[in-house]
Amino acid sequence: MNYTFQFNVVWREFPELLQGAWLTLQLGVAAFTAGALIGLVCAAIRSYGPWPLRAVVGVYVVFFTNTPTLIQIYFLYFGLPEFGIRWSNEACVLIGLILSSGAYLTLIMRAGFLSVRQTELEAAATLGMSVTQQVRYVIVPHIAKTIYPALANFFIVILVMGTSIGAIVGVDELTGQAINISTVNYRWLENFTVVAAMYVVLTFIASIGLALVGRWAFRVNAKIF
């Protein structure tokens, strides 16, 4: 193998890669936060809602967990314009990630709802709490401790694998920036070696942040990696 690495070429474009990493982090946080809210509401409906709403949530979860996120984003980016609806590529990627993560987080949080002991709910009902109050004051604190590791791992999945899909529709997140730079300087191996290291750093930062949030907000002894 006579290939000569030239990382100095990559360092000249490093500010652009940092901009892509920042966009990756923004997309990951926004998709996870909105998806978590959707997942919480849908899990509550699946657990305590009336039959018609449970059926609607069930269809949503089945559809988005059994189709690739890329196909969903393709429909938003290429399909909606056929109906006169045009969104930016960033908006299509973000909405696609939100809907997909919301479906998966519904399943994760549903498991948390099922882990709540019936005696706790009966005690809350005896105190006169409504279903909404039970979810807020009894169920959410309980499931936060139970499923926090799974939620943290899912955030890493969105951050690393989910956001990189945006490169396919022209979003200049970290992978997208690497592709743009590589098509100019043709140093694909060097660029993506650096990008792989940057993803590891992003994952490490996210893992530390999630561990600190878990210990501070939910008293979860979350591990880093």
Distance, in Å, from the CA atom of 100 to the CA atom of 76, rounded to the nearest integer, reads: 13
Is a pLDDT exceeding 80 seen at residue 58? yes
Tens digit of pLDDT for each residue in 149-158?
A: 888 888 888 8
User: In which residue are the tokens 């942040």 written?
Assistant: 209
CA dihedral 71, 76, 80, 84 (to 10 degrees): -160
Q: Mean pLDDT over residues 126-131, rounded?
A: 84
Query: Rounded to 5 degrees, what are φ and ψ at 149?
Result: -60, -40
Tens digit of pLDDT for each residue in 166-219?
A: 999 989 999 999 999 999 988 899 999 999 999 999 998 888 888 887 777 666
- What are the structure tokens assigned to 98, written together? 């939100």
Distance, in Å, from the CA atom of 151 to the CA atom of 14, rounded to the nearest integer, reads: 31
Q: How many CA atoms lie within 13 A of 110 on its CB side?
A: 19
Q: All domains of the chain, ordered by start, with CATH?
A: 12-217 (1.10.3720.10)
How many residues belong to the chain? 225
Is a pLDDT exceeding 70 seen at residue 2? yes
Whether the Cβ atoms of residue 67 and residue 133 lie closer than 8 Å to each other: no
Distance, in Å, from the CA atom of 162 to the CA atom of 179, rounded to the nearest integer, reads: 16
Tens digit of pLDDT for each residue in 84-112?
A: 999 999 999 999 999 999 999 999 988 88
Q: What is the DSSP letter of 84?
A: T
Q: What integer pLDDT is reported at residue 221 of this predicted model?
A: 67
Nearest to 11 by CA among 150, 156, 197: 197
